[in-house]
Structure 1
Amino acid sequence: MICLTSTFSFAQDVAILKYKGGGDWYSNPTALPNLVKFCNDNINTNINENIQTVETNSIDIFQFPLLHMTGHGNVFFNEEDAENLKNYLVSGGFIHIDDNYGMEPYVRKELKKVFPNNELIEISKDHPIFNSVYDFPNGLPKIHEHDGKAPQAFGIFHESRLVLLFTFESDLGDGWEDTEVHNDPQEVRERALKMGANIIKYAFEN
């Protein structure tokens, strides 16, 4: 069992969350660096563009107000991981999980270990995360097509604060990647980057 006494760092930095289970946590390697550069250039952030990777059971996660998690497949949290993530979230941290296709059933199962009494609930379109910088009156934008489903944003709240965002059937990270990776039109990439900027702004200020 982990007993954490560290105070949460409110530096403007973000990190990629490396998880167990065999899923490709390292997918979309250019996504987060591009989003950080977009934010630094457009919304007056000063985020370190040298993106670090942190593991779920590490105390290092407390250095970052926002952790980004993505992939296509299996996710597994052991007891130590789950306790560390919960301590991080209830002490001011924020996690964005972006389903790159295939994560959803594993994420739902493993998050029950972190918050046994909380469910992922769909976030309403009028939530501040959709207008913290740029306005998305229709909610989460659709970036990549997979199963023909509408994009959905789910969250976990702790004491009324949104502490975890799970973006599903949107694939924001693909829109953040270098242009030549997916050959997305500029307007699609811009929508993805603007929604990402909203997430970062919201996480830093709430």
Structure 2
Amino acid sequence: MKNLTIYLILTITFTCLNLRSQEIAILKYQGGGDWYANPTALPNLIKFCNDNIGTTLINKPKTVEVGSSSIFQYPFLHMTGHGNVVFSDQELENLRNYLLSGGFLHIDDNYGMKPYVTREIKRLFPDMELEELGADHQIFKNTYSFPKGLPKIHEHDGQRPQAFAISKNNRVILLFTSESDLGDGWEDPTVHNDPAELRKKALQMGANIITYAFKN
């Protein structure tokens, strides 16, 4: 009964926050991975969304820690990096409550995160499976069309890009993008010298993720 009460309170709180705010935060985690990677990525994505799809996102994303209650102030969390990720039991509980009460987490593998992230997601939701989203999922067509699914932005191992999800009640609550490197495509043009068309695809896919998170 206690857990149910906490869950209901968090759900109501989240509903109220969603009605009055559109904010994104960067998720800071432990384990040695560079959670701070791609510093220009989110500001550029926010500007693209505000300019092109009518969002009113706050220009400078805040940084929040996994175990902090402040994550409930942000309907959308973004997580990236190259290396190890470790969640404590308290952080797992906090993040689980956040996601089950209406939050959304996008994890973008900047290359090297996958084995650590998948391990921690299994701890986060031991009774749920990461499932690959098909190219017909609405996240690939709600604003911009990606008929082949997740676009390939940077080449690493020659593997195809994949989008995996944890869903509840037919709504994606956790999205893990792998072998795509969307965040690199969101960064300033001079960081990776990506062609304009590739950066455009990355930003458009990011806009689709934002649209999905705030409208579903």
Query: What TM-score comes out, normalization by structure 2 length?
Result: 0.93
Count of residue pairs brought into register by the alignment: 205
Displacement of 1:65: 1.1
1:93 maps onto 2:99 in alignment: no
Q: Which moved more, 1:4-13 or 1:159-168?
A: 4-13
1:12 equivalent in structure 2: 22
2:77 equivalent in structure 1: 67
Name structure 2 gaps, 5 residues minimum.
Answer: none
Displacement of 1:97: 0.2
2:116 equivalent in structure 1: 106
Please state whether the residue corresponding to 1:112 is helix, strand or coil.
helix
**Separation in 1 of the partners of 2:210 and 2:94?**
22
1:39-54 paired onto structure 2 within 5 Å: 39-54=49-64
Please state whether the residue corresponding to 2:172 is helix, strand or coil.
strand
**Separation in 1 of the partners of 2:42 and 2:84?**
21
1:136 maps onto 2:141 in alignment: no
Q: State the identity %.
A: 64
Please state whether the residue corresponding to 1:118 is helix, strand or coil.
coil
Query: What TM-score comes out, normalization by structure 1 length?
Result: 0.97
Match of 1:195 among 186, 201, 205: 205
Moved over 3 A (4+): 2-6
Displacement of 1:159: 2.1
Deviation track 1:93-113 (CA, whole Å, cap 9, x = no partner) reads 100000000000000100112
Please state whether the residue corresponding to 1:135 is helix, strand or coil.
coil
Name structure 1 gaps, 5 residues minimum.
Answer: none
Q: Over the residues paired in the alignment, what is the CA RMSD in angstroms? A: 1.1
1:157 maps onto 2:164 in alignment: no
Please state whether the residue corresponding to 1:202 is helix, strand or coil.
helix
2:128 equivalent in structure 1: 118
**Separation in 2 of the partners of 1:43 and 1:161?**
21
Displacement of 1:161: 1.2
1:25 equivalent in structure 2: 35
**Separation in 2 of the partners of 1:138 and 1:153?**
12
1:78 equivalent in structure 2: 88
Deviation track 1:33-82 (CA, whole Å, cap 9, x = no partner) reads 00000000000000000110000001111111110000000000111111
Displacement of 1:158: 1.3
Displacement of 1:139: 0.1
Deviation track 1:111-157 (CA, whole Å, cap 9, x = no partner) reads 11211111111001111100111000100000000000010000001
Match of 1:177 among 181, 187, 198: 187
Partner AA of 1:37 in structure 2: K
More helix by share: 2
1:146 equivalent in structure 2: 156
